[in-house]
Amino acid sequence: MMQDIIYGIPLEITKKRVKYLIITVKSPGGIVMISAPYGIDRSVIENFVFKKRDWIIKQQKLLTSSISEKPIEYNMGDKIILWGNEYNLQVEYISRGQRAELSGSAIILSVNEHSTAEQRERIINEFYRKELQAKILEILPLWEDRTMLYSKKVKIRDMKSRWGSCNIKTKQITFNLKLAKKPFQCLNYVILHELMHLKIRNHSKEFYRYITMYMPDYKTVQNMMKTL
């Protein structure tokens, strides 16, 4: 399997013994997967993705349109959002090693029986942090190579009003912890957005001209990120 970014859309491309290109959009987060014949030229895949862009975005929106976030107490059966999808929360009681982990269609929260909602939330947030960090380490290098803009340090914080920030001097990019709740495409947009600040500091027309060049449908992604 090969990871790539075409027209701003992150893809997982697998070469198989197939005659035609096959595209699917799957959970979690609307992952775009392409099965391609051996020896196919990349330009053919690019043209295929270009023609399918509207359909891809429509499918990604359908995967997330029914999800609404509500205050939760982190009890058995509560819904936890990860990468734009809902997972059932399963609670297990243990005396040591409190943690949360993904298992199939559920997130298993292992906690002390007398733990409070605040304590459980901290464990879930640590779970989000690990998930987000893993995805950043996976996706960020793809965008750095694509844009030829390179960060030096990555930080994750639970921010109240911003999805990300970039320190031009230190080249540190900070990501909002809540991105782990949004579809993967939102993380891709924030990565591109903050990397582009290493080239252009403000949000000028030139800045968004470059954003459009790498992610033509960025405004659709912005609509997914209207609320923190």
Residue 57: pLDDT above 90? no
12 and 24 within one domain: yes
> CA distances (Å), 109 to each of 43, 85, 202, in order?
45, 17, 42
137 and 101 within one domain: no
In a domain, 69, yes or no: no
143 and 197 within one domain: yes
HEC string for 58-119? HHHHHHHCCCCCCCCCCCCCCEEEECCEEEEEEEEECCCCCEEEEECCEEEEEECCCCCHHH
102 and 146 within one domain: no
- Residue 106: strand pairing partners: 88, 103
Residue 68: pLDDT above 80? no
Average of per-residue pLDDT values in the chain: 90
Residue bearing tokens 């031009």:
168
- Side-chain-facing half-sphere of 208: CA atoms under 13 Å: 7
> Which of 57-66, 126-135, 136-145, 190-199 comes out lowest in average pLDDT?
57-66
| Secondary structure (3-state) at 20 | coil
Mean pLDDT of 10-28: 86
183 and 148 within one domain: yes
Note the pLDDT of residue 27: 67
Range(s) of the domain holding residue 157: 132-224
* Residue 53 pLDDT class (50, 70, 90 cuts): confident
* Residue 225 pLDDT class (50, 70, 90 cuts): confident
Q: How many domains does the chain have?
A: 3
CATH number for the domain spanning 198: value is 3.30.2010.10
175 and 141 within one domain: yes
149 and 123 within one domain: no
Which pairing describes strands 153-157 and 172-176: parallel, antiparallel, or unpaired? parallel
* Residue 10 pLDDT class (50, 70, 90 cuts): confident
140 and 220 within one domain: yes
Other C-beta atoms within 10 Å of 208: how many?
A: 15
165 and 106 within one domain: no
* Residue 133 pLDDT class (50, 70, 90 cuts): very high
Residue 62: pLDDT above 80? no
Q: What is the Cα–Cα distance from 120 to 128, expressed in whole angstroms?
A: 12
Residue 206: pLDDT above 70? yes
